Amino acid sequence: MKSTDKLSSTLSEKKSWTKPIISPVRSGIQNKFGGALYSNWQDTIDGVVINELLEQYGSPLFVVSEKKLRKNMRHINRVFSARYPDVLFGWSYKTNYLGAVCNLLHQEGAWAEVVSDFEYEKARNLGVPGNKIIFNGPYKTRDSLIVAINDKARIHIDNIDELHTLEDLGIELDRDIKVAIRVNFETGYTEPWSRFGFNLESGQAMNAVWRIAASKHLKLVGLHSHIGTFILEPQAYAVQTRTLCEFMNKVESSTDFEIEFIDIGGGFASLNSLQGIYLPPEQIVPSIEQYADAICSVMLDHTEQRVARGGKRPQLVLETGRAIVDDAEALVSSVISTNRLPDGRKALVMDAGVNLLFTAFWYNHQVIPTRTLDGRAEETVIYGPLCMNIDVLRASIMLPPVKVGDSLIFSPAGAYNNTQWLQFIHYRPNIVMVHDKQQVSVIRKAENLEVVIAQERLPQHLAKPFK
Ligand SMILES: Cc1ncc(COP(=O)(O)O)c(C=O)c1O
């Protein structure tokens, strides 16, 4: 293009313009350095131009990076395996059970960690062998337990009724069943998730062990606990691991059981901003190495005597979810209208809302435009398209003027959105995965009317809307 052509095409491009306003100075908006500059923008994901993705696959659009996901999984695997000799990851399906995401993580060596009949079926349907499934959760039906027993899945007993059911099934099927129990206890760092599993301090957990020891067909081989989520203090894991190891020693010294694995669940924080936390995630989220140091040093110490006796160290199982997948996926959404609120704040309405970005209820996601934005940043509220007042993607963010049709990237968005999202008012959009060499595949097709009404049935006398 000649430079004069370039100049005339730049001149003919319509500049964005918004009506000038006088806005009151509110504390927190400006500091002694003046208004914040907004220099952050991104127009590609793994080399693929975002606006071209939107043109081809529509807006809004979830974009998963294969490269980032593999990198995260390999990194966490490497960090833990360098510190402990026997480590296994169970991919927490509830965090993100898109088939392509699960299979990628299985290819990287993770088993499936499932918490319902549906998730169990999903894992089997993806081709995961039953003996590579960790079956957790408070509600496992009798039928799914039978399947899991036959599959030789790892069954983690959550409560006494489930223990009784498994005892009965052992007798009924005349099968020995290897089981683990989930336990809960105080770490001093996190709110104990005491509704799951058997409580340690009250003696409930040891009673469960005695009960298993007395049963003909059950054999205890594992201990499991999950102490919470988005845990910012690695020492919480040191306490958790120590508590589990001490309990393991108690179990082994008072029964004939030998514990083959200790499963410490998930909970490592991702690089997302929890609402109410002032510092940015880069400053407060511990590194995987810090978590691993806390866990593995305790595991090594507390299993040393076993090794000295000629025994094997138990396997260390992790069910890390958000720390693996969150920053490997983003939601790209376009501005559908702009508004000025009565109090002077700017408002944007996007084509994606909390129906898609469910985690906006507790995170302040990073919001990055796909082009440079000029002009003074001002306090802006970002709304979704739902006809509901709760549909707020971001209650307050400093943004320069954006116009209808501009797109914004909300990230990290890989954890708990594609599982907790809602088909509510709008169809759910395409999800694409960007592979190596800028290849792109749709990994979940956008919904349409046919998909949404597929399960509905109209009784004959309601088949027509009007007589
Ligand atoms: C038993 C269990 N394992 C693993 C996870 C994954 O947790 P996170 O995504 O915080 O790592 C959860 C989440 O609640 C859980 O309940």
- List the one residue out of 120, 141, 139, 142 whose CA is nearest residue 131: 120
Confidence of residue 376 (pLDDT cuts 50, 70, 90): confident
| pLDDT at residue 26 tops 50 | no
Candidate CATH numbers 2.40.30.10, 2.60.110.10, 2.40.37.10, 3.40.50.620; the one for domain 34-64+327-448: 2.40.37.10
How, if at all, do strands 48-49 and 44-45 pair? antiparallel
Ligand 1: residues within 6 Å at CB?
92, 95, 113, 136, 226, 229, 265-268, 319-323, 415
Secondary element (H or E) of residue 330:
strand 329-340
For ligand 1, the distance from its centroid to the CA atom of residue 72, given in whole angstroms, is: 17
Q: Rounded to the nearest 10 degrees, how much is the dihedral formed by the CA atoms of 20, 25, 26, 31?
A: 110
| pLDDT at residue 4 tops 70 | no
Give nearest CA residue, ligand 1 atom 2.
265
Beta-carbon count within 10 A of 165 CB: 17
pTM (two decimals) = 0.92
Confidence of residue 34 (pLDDT cuts 50, 70, 90): low
Give me the CATH code for the 66-326 domain, please.
3.20.20.10
Confidence of residue 32 (pLDDT cuts 50, 70, 90): low
Atom of ligand 1 nearest to the CA of 182: 1
| pLDDT at residue 159 tops 90 | yes
> In angstroms, what CA-CA distances link 327 with 68, 170, 413?
8, 43, 7
Pocket test for ligand 1, best of 226, 227, 230, 295 (most atoms within 8 A of CB): 226
Atom of ligand 1 nearest to the CA of 229: 10
Mean pLDDT score of the chain, rounded to an integer?
A: 94
Determine the pLDDT at residue 274: 95
Task: DSSP for 49-111, please give it.
Answer: EHHHHHHHH-SSEEEEEHHHHHHHHHHHHHHHHTT-SSEEEEEEGGG---HHHHHHHHHTT-E
Determine the pLDDT at residue 467: 85
For ligand 1, the distance from its centroid to the CA atom of residue 223, given in whole angstroms, is: 16
Atom of ligand 1 nearest to the CA of 95: 9
For ligand 1, the distance from its centroid to the CA atom of residue 337, given in whole angstroms, is: 37
For ligand 1, the distance from its centroid to the CA atom of residue 119, given in whole angstroms, is: 14
Percent of the chain exceeding pLDDT 70 equals 93
Q: pLDDT by residue (tens digit) across 315-352?
A: 999 999 999 999 999 999 999 999 999 999 999 999 99
Q: Quickly list H helices, 256-313.
A: 281-284, 288-308
For ligand 1, the distance from its centroid to the CA atom of residue 321, given in whole angstroms, is: 6
Biggest distance spanned by C-alpha atoms of the chain:
89
Atom of ligand 1 nearest to the CA of 136: 1
The mean pLDDT value for 240-247 works out to 98
Give nearest CA residue, ligand 1 atom 9.
321
For ligand 1, the distance from its centroid to the CA atom of residue 265, given in whole angstroms, is: 6
Paired tokens of 77: 């695997």
Alpha carbon distance 293, 125 (integer Å): 36
Percent of the chain exceeding pLDDT 90 equals 89
Judged by average pLDDT, the poorest of 27-31, 72-76, 356-360 is 27-31
Give nearest CA residue, ligand 1 atom 14.
229
For ligand 1, the distance from its centroid to the CA atom of residue 197, given in whole angstroms, is: 14
The b-or-e profile of 152-162 (16+ CB within 10 A means b, else e) is ebbbbbbbeeb
Confidence of residue 20 (pLDDT cuts 50, 70, 90): confident
Confidence of residue 191 (pLDDT cuts 50, 70, 90): confident
Confidence of residue 374 (pLDDT cuts 50, 70, 90): confident
Alpha carbon distance 207, 204 (integer Å): 5
The mean pLDDT value for 349-361 works out to 98
For ligand 1, the distance from its centroid to the CA atom of residue 426, given in whole angstroms, is: 29
Pocket test for ligand 1, best of 76, 95, 101 (most atoms within 8 A of CB): 95
The mean pLDDT value for 381-406 works out to 96
Atom of ligand 1 nearest to the CA of 322: 9
Q: Given the structure tokens 């960690």, which residue do they identify?
A: 113
For ligand 1, the distance from its centroid to the CA atom of residue 258, given in whole angstroms, is: 26
Confidence of residue 47 (pLDDT cuts 50, 70, 90): very high
CB-hemisphere CA count at 13 Å for 434?
22
For ligand 1, the distance from its centroid to the CA atom of residue 38, given in whole angstroms, is: 35
Determine the pLDDT at residue 29: 47
For ligand 1, the distance from its centroid to the CA atom of residue 180, given in whole angstroms, is: 17
Q: Given the structure tokens 């099927």, which residue do they identify?
A: 173
Q: pLDDT by residue (tens digit) across 274-293?
A: 999 989 999 999 999 999 99
Domain boundaries, the chain: 34-64+327-448, 66-326
Atom of ligand 1 nearest to the CA of 266: 11
Pocket test for ligand 1, best of 94, 264, 318, 419 (most atoms within 8 A of CB): 94
Confidence of residue 1 (pLDDT cuts 50, 70, 90): very low
The mean pLDDT value for 119-135 works out to 98
Q: pLDDT by residue (tens digit) across 408-465?
A: 999 999 999 999 999 999 999 999 999 999 999 999 999 999 999 999 999 999 999 9
| pLDDT at residue 3 tops 60 | no
Describe the crossing of helices 160-173 and 204-214 by its angle, rounded to 10 degrees. 10
Determine the pLDDT at residue 446: 98
Residue 293: CB partners within 8 Å, gap ≥ 6? 83, 234
Give nearest CA residue, ligand 1 atom 16.
226
For ligand 1, the distance from its centroid to the CA atom of residue 97, given in whole angstroms, is: 13
Atom of ligand 1 nearest to the CA of 115: 1
